[in-house]
Amino acid sequence: MRINEPLISFYHAIMRPEWTRLERPGQAPAVWGDAQPRFDSAVLGPHFEELCRDWAARFAEDVILGGRAVGAASAVVNDRARRRTWEVDVVVRAVDGRLLALGEATWGKVMGADDLDRLRRIRDLLVAQDRSGADSARLLCFGAAGFTEELRAAERAGQVACIGPEHLYGFAASTTGSVGAP
C-alpha cells in the first residue's frame, strides 16, 4: 500500500522514525540532514509521480499522447528474459483501452538517454505481449531536475516528449509548441 497524502508520508518517513532525536534540543538540523534522501524517495518522488499521472490523464494535449486519455496509472511489466520486473510510473490509456503512452517520472536527477532506453525496453516487452496500442505508444520523460542534451535531441527527433515542471504547473506558453510530439 502506498500513502498518497504528502503530509502523512512525511510523518511516516521522517518524523516517526526520528522522534527520539527530534525531542532532543538542537537535533532537528542533523535529523533533517540525515533524512533528506529518505524524504526525496519516500515523499517527493511518489508525489511527483502522482502529479505526472494526473497531468497526463487530465491536461496533456492529444498531440502529445497520440489520442485522448481516459486515465493514467502506474504498472509493473514482467521481463522474463532478464528475470526482472520494470516499474512504469505513468501508463496512459485511451477510451477504447489501448495504450497511448508510457512515462518515467524522476524527481531528483537529470533525465538522460538511459531513461529513454528503459522506456523503449518496456514498450518492446508490451509489443511482444501483444498489448493493444503498445507498438505506437508515445514515450514520456517527466523530469523535475531537467534533461540532458542527448535526451533533448531525442525529443527533437520525435522519439520522446520531455515534460518539465513548466508544463505540469501550466506556466509553459503552450504544450504543443513546448513539448515534442513523438
**Quick check: 107 and 129 in contact, CB under 8 A?**
no
Q: How do residues 9-50 score in pLDDT, each as one tens digit?
A: 777 777 788 888 888 888 888 888 888 887 777 778 888 999
Write down how long the chain is.
Answer: 182
pLDDT for 144 beyond 90: yes
Structure confidence at residue 182 (pLDDT): 47
Is domain 51-178 in CATH 1.10.3470, yes or no?
A: no
Q: CA–CA distance from 114 to each of 37, 47, 63, 172 (Å)?
A: 22, 23, 24, 26
Sign of CA dihedral 26, 31, 33, 34: positive
Domain ranges of the chain: 6-49, 51-178
Q: What is the pTM of this model?
A: 0.81
Contacts of 50 (CB under 8 A, 6+ apart): 4
Strand-strand pairing, 99-106 and 138-143: parallel
